[in-house]
Amino acid sequence: MEILIPILSAAIRSGTPILYATLGEILTEKAGVLNLGLEGLMLLGAFSGFSATMMTGNPWFGLASAVLVGMGVSAIHAFLCVSMGANQVVSGLAITMFGTGLSALLGKAYVGETIRGIGILPVPLLGKVPVLGPVFFNHDPLVYVSYCLVGLLCWFISSTRWGLTLRAVGENPRAVDSAGLNVTRLRYAYTMVGGGLTALGGAYLSVVYTQMWVEMMTAGRGWIAVALVIFGIWNPLRAAFGSYLFGGVGALQLRIQAAGTTVPAPLLLMLPYILTIVVLVVISVRKGKGILLGAPAALGQPFHREERD
Amino acid sequence: MIRPFRVERRIDAPAWLNWAIPVGAVAIALAAGAILLFFLGVSPLAAYTAMFKGALGDAWGISETIVKAIPLTLAGLAVGLAFTMVVWNIGAEGQIVMGALATVAVVRYAFVDSSAAMFAMMFLAASIAGGLWAGLAGFLRARWSVNETITTLMMNYIAILLADYFIYGPWRDPSSLGFPMTAPFPDAARLPALWGTRVHVGIFLAIAIAVLFRVLYRWTRWGFELRVIGNNPKAARYAGINDTMNILLAMFVSGAVAGIAGMTEIAGLQGRIQPGFSGGYGFTAIIVAWLARLNPLGTIFVSFLLGALLVGGDTLQVVMGLPLASVQVLQGLILFCVLGGEFFRNYRIVLSGRGE
C-alpha cells in the first residue's frame, strides 16, 4: 500500500489534463459535434497559458487566457461544421495542424523559460485522512476543480432541463428545432465550452504540471482524450476513471524508467498508445454485443434546418 | 426583415467550381497567413517572394519540390483510397515509417548485390509492412467497428517509437560517432537519382500508382464498389457488396502505398533512417487528398503545390529564420479554407431582388 500511494497520487495529477480535455469533448459530442482538434487545442492552451503567466506573473490569468483561446479556436471549428456543414473529421484535423503549428511558431521564444505556476494546496482535514488524503486531496486547486466539474457535469447532463436539451441536440436536432430552440446556437455554445475546457487541460500541463513550455508537449494526450470519450461512453464519471487509468500508466512508466530497467525507453513510451487501442477494442467488442450504449445519434452530422432528412 | 442576400441550395455544381474553390481557398489561406506574418514582424510580401523563389524560382528549387511531391503523391493516394470509402486512415505517417523500417530490415538482413533484386525485395517488404500496419486498424474497424481514426493515429506514435527503438538500439551505426542513425545503404540498395538532382526514380512509381488508381476508380468493379460503400453504405449492403472485406482490402492497399512512400524516401533519398526521418508527409497527405478531392491524377498536381509549400518553408527558415512550424500553420489555414469553400459547391448566394 505504501508503494501504491505515490503512484495513485501521480496518476491523479497526470490524468487531470486528459480529464479536462475528455470532459470538454463529452460536452461537444453530446451536442452532436465531433471535434478531433483536441490535440491542437491542448497545445494552444498550453502555450497561451504559459505565455500569459509569464507576461503577467499570475498563473490564474494564464489559465483564463488559455480558456479564451480554446473557445476562440474551437469557434472556427463550430463555424465550419455547424454553419458551413463541413466535414467534421477533416475540420478537426485542420484544427490540430493549425494548433500544433501556431503553438510551435509563437512558442519558439518561450522554450527554456520558467514560470512560477500553481503549487500544491492540501485540503484541510480531508488531506489528513489516511490513504485517501494523500491520493485525492493533496494536489493543486485545479485537481479539485476537476473533481467538482465531473460531479457538476454528471448532474447537469442527466438531471437538468439544459442537460436534456444538450442530449436532444446530439440525438435528434430536428426535434430540438421543432421545440423552438436554436440548434446552431446550442452547438456553437457547447463546441466552444468544450474547446475552452480542452485548452484548460493543455494549460494544466504547462502552468501547473511541468511549469515549462516544450513544443508538442501534449504528446498525443488530445487523441487519447478522444478515445476516452468512447471508453467513457459519454459519461463524465467513467471518463474520469479512464483519465486516471492513463495517468497511472504514464506515472508508472516514469517510475519504471527511474528505477533503472533494461527495457528501452521507446518501448516503455509506447504503453499509453497501445493501451488506448486495447481499451477501444474491448469497448467496441462489448458494444457489438449490445452491452453498452452508443454515440449520440446525430454525432458528426450537420443539421440543415430547411431540408428534409 | 429584408436581407440583402439569401442562401440557396445548388442543384448542380458548375464545373468551374472544381478549380475555383481550391484556388480561392489557397488564396484566402495565404492572405490569412500574410496577416499572421505581419503580426510576427515579418514582411508578408518578402516572405512569400522568398518562398516562391526558393521552391519554383530555379531548376534546383523545382527539383526539390518534386523530391517532396513524390512521398506526398504516394501518401496522398494512400489516404485518398481510404477516404473514398469514408474510412479515416490518419495513419499514413506510421505506415510510411513501417515501410521504411521494412526497407532497412531488408538491406540489413537480406542484402544481395543486385539493384533489381534489391528493388523488388524492398518494394515487397515495404508494401507488406505498411499494408499490415494499416490492415490491422482496418481489421478492427471491419470486425468490431473500432474507431479507425484513433487506432491509426495511435499506431503513428507506436511506429515512430518503434523506429526510435531501432535507431537508438540494435540498428545504430557503430561508425556514426554516436549519432543516432542507421548505417548508409550500399549502392545496390539505392534508387538511382535522375538528371543530376535529388529526384529519384520514385517519381515514376508515384505516377504509375496514380494512373493505376485512376483506372481502378474509373473502370473496375472494385473501384465502383468502393465508391458505393463511401457514398451509401446501406445501398452497398443491399447490392450485396461485402463491406467488411472491402474495408480490410482497401486499408491494406492504402497502407501498402504509404509503405512504398517510406521505401522510396529512404532508398531514393535519405539512404538511412534517423529520428524524425518521416517528416510529417503522412499528415500533409491528408490535405493533399482533400484538396485533390480524392482524384488520383489531381493528387499529383496538388502534391507538387504542397511540395512547393514545404520547400518554400525550408527557404523561409533559412532566409528569414522563421521556424518550420509556419508551414504547418499555413497548411492548417489552407485546410480550413478548403473546407469552408466546399459550402459554395452545395449552396449559392443570391442577391435579393434577383430572380424572385
pLDDT per position as a tens digit, A243-277:
998 888 888 887 887 777 778 888 888 888 898 89
| Residue B314 forms contact with A (CB below 8 Å) | no
pLDDT-derived band at A8, boundaries 50, 70, 90 = confident
Cell numbers representing residue A5 in the block:
500511494
Q: Note the pLDDT of residue A288.
A: 67
For residues B231-255, average pLDDT: 85
**pLDDT for res B353:** 58
- A86-140 pLDDT tens trace: 888 889 989 999 999 999 988 888 888 888 878 777 778 777 777 777 778 878 8
Q: Is the pLDDT of residue A291 over 60?
A: no
Q: Give the pLDDT mean for A81-86.
A: 87
DSSP strand pairing (B347-351 vs B5-9): antiparallel
Half-sphere exposure of B123 (CA within 13 A, CB side): 12
Count the Cβ atoms, other than its own, within 10 Å of residue B57: 15
- For residue A257, the distance in angstroms to the closest alpha carbon of chain B comes to 15
Task: Return the higher-pLDDT residue of A81 and B3.
Answer: A81
Please, are residues A57 and A118 in contact by the beta-carbon 8 Å criterion? no
Instruction: Report residue A156 as a C-alpha cell.
Output: 447537469
CB contact under 8 A, B154 and A99: no
Domains and CATH numbers, chain A: 4-288 (1.10.3470)
pLDDT of B251: 93
- pTM of this prediction? 0.88
Q: Does A284 touch chain B (CB under 8 A)?
A: yes
Q: What is the DSSP letter of B188?
A: G
Question: Which residues in chain A are contacts of B340 at CB distance < 8 A?
Answer: 79-80, 84, 86
What average pLDDT does this structure show over B44-66? Answer: 85
- Is A288's CB within 8 Å of B145's CB? yes
CB contact under 8 A, B157 and A220: yes
Which one of A94, A105, A284 has the shortest CB-CB distance to B335? A94
Task: List beta partners, residue B193.
Answer: B200
Contact yes or no for B69/B207 (Cβ under 8 A): no
| Residue B356 reports pLDDT greater than 50 | no
Q: What is the average per-residue pLDDT within A198-212? A: 91
Rounded to the nearest angstrom, the gap between the alpha carbon of residue A9 and the centroid of all alpha carbons in its chain is 19
The residue ranking higher by pLDDT, A228 or A289, is A228
Q: Please tell me the distance in Å from A191's CA to the nearest CA on chain B.
A: 17
User: A184 — contact with chain B (CB < 8 Å)?
Assistant: no
ipTM over 0.90: no
* B chain contacts of residue A213, beta-carbon cutoff 8 Å: none
A26: nearest Cα among A242, A181, A173:
A242
* Residue A307 near chain B (CB below 8 Å): yes
Residue from A2, A3, A13, A1 nearest A136 by CA: A13
Write the CB contacts of B263 (distance below 8 Å, at least 6 apart in sequence): B99, B100, B102, B103, B122, B123, B125, B126, B127
Query: Which H helix or E strand runs over A285?
Result: helix A271-288
pLDDT digits (tens, 9 = 90+) for A172-197: 888 888 888 889 999 999 999 999 99
Calculate what percentage of chain B has a pLDDT beyond 90: 25
Residue B56 pLDDT > 80: yes
pLDDT value of residue B162: 93
pLDDT value for B2: 60
Q: Please check whether residue A235 is in contact with residue A106, taking contact to mean a CB–CB distance below 8 angstroms.
A: no
